[in-house]
Structure 1
Amino acid sequence: MSRDSRLSRMLHVLVHMEQLDGAATSDTIAQMLNTNPVVVRRTMAGLREHGYVRSVKGPGGGWTLAKKLDEISLGDIHRALDSPAIFAMSAAVDHAGCLVEQAVNATLESAFAEAEQVLFARLDSISLGDVARDFAKRARRKVPRGRSEQ
């Protein structure tokens, strides 16, 4: 089973977009993600509908941030991506009448729901600005010796 990396990929794109002097085209973003521009447009359209990005058509157009990174949480982007499933695991439904299966499923569903609540609360507590600041800190550490840090 393949993993859903849309959240990670879109967070990556949004932080890069803040660094750009202008709009990012769908082609540019597609190259960044090694995907098709049509996939980018479809995904970015969902973010636009939630007010996180805006788009301009035509020459010089493309995608820009509609909000500051500190105003966007990781949870916001997760929800804008239609809340992809967090866990690949699920309860079995092979023998719905089996009382053991029912007990196992009830326990797992409760544990998964509790874990999701904790994870979503954490995602909501982290802004894209936090990610960008972490990136900036990492970039400063990679400055070659003898060069000033800016």
Structure 2
Amino acid sequence: MKSADPLSDALHVMAHLVGQEGPRTSEQLATCLPTHPVVIRRLLAQMHKAGLVRSTRGHGGGSQLARDAAQISLHDIYLAVGAPPLVQFGQRDNGGGCPIQQLVNQALQDGAREAQRLLEARLQASTLDQLGADFARHLAHHRSLEGPHES
């Protein structure tokens, strides 16, 4: 299974590692996404190469954050997955030399560059611990809406 959005997948997996006492296996993380554990292992290999996670083999092994989540920006994760373009769109081929098409393409390219800069700045300003805290608040809110559970 190939993901259409490796950044989203990486952020999702990394958020599941925030606040974990011990390592999580690729099988455990795959149930969260959901995807195949091989996809998770490939993603974790990218995070490991970037120094964002450390892995332990064998019984009781798995992956965990290599440093405090407050020291990992979402931009670090973006770079670890290869810095894919955050804004993508198709352009009509300019081979015909139509001046209108040239202007359309230029407007789209200019907008995409500006959006890319803004998104990267936002990723640089956000940390993994903030994402984890947002998740914890979201989870607590939804659990409070469920009310008490009967045994």
Q: TM-score, normalised by structure 2?
A: 0.83
Residue 98 of structure 1 deviates from its aligned partner by 2.1
Counterpart position of 2:74: 74
What's the secondary structure of 2:134's corresponding residue? Answer: helix
Q: What pairs up with 1:30-109 in 2 under 5 angstroms?
A: 30-93=30-93, 95-109=95-109
**4+ residue runs over 4 A deviation:** none
Give the corresponding residue for 2:111. Answer: 111
What runs of 5+ residues in structure 1 fail to find an aligned partner?
none
3-state SS of paired residue (1:79): helix
C-alpha displacement of 1:96: 4.6
- Structure 2 residues without counterparts, runs of 5 or longer: none
| Contact 2:85-2:116 within 8 A present in 1 as well | no
* Structure 2 match to 1:18: 18
Matched-pair contact (CA < 8 Å) for 1:73–1:127: yes
User: What per-residue deviation string (whole Å, max 9, x for no partner) do you get for residues 52-111 of structure 1?
Assistant: 001111111111100111111111111111122322313221535222222221221111
Equivalent residue letter for 1:92:
R
Aligned with 1:19: secondary structure?
coil
State the identity as a percent.
35
Q: CA separation in 1, counterparts of 2:116 and 2:9?
A: 20
Residue correspondences, number = 145
Q: TM-score, length-normalised on structure 1?
A: 0.84
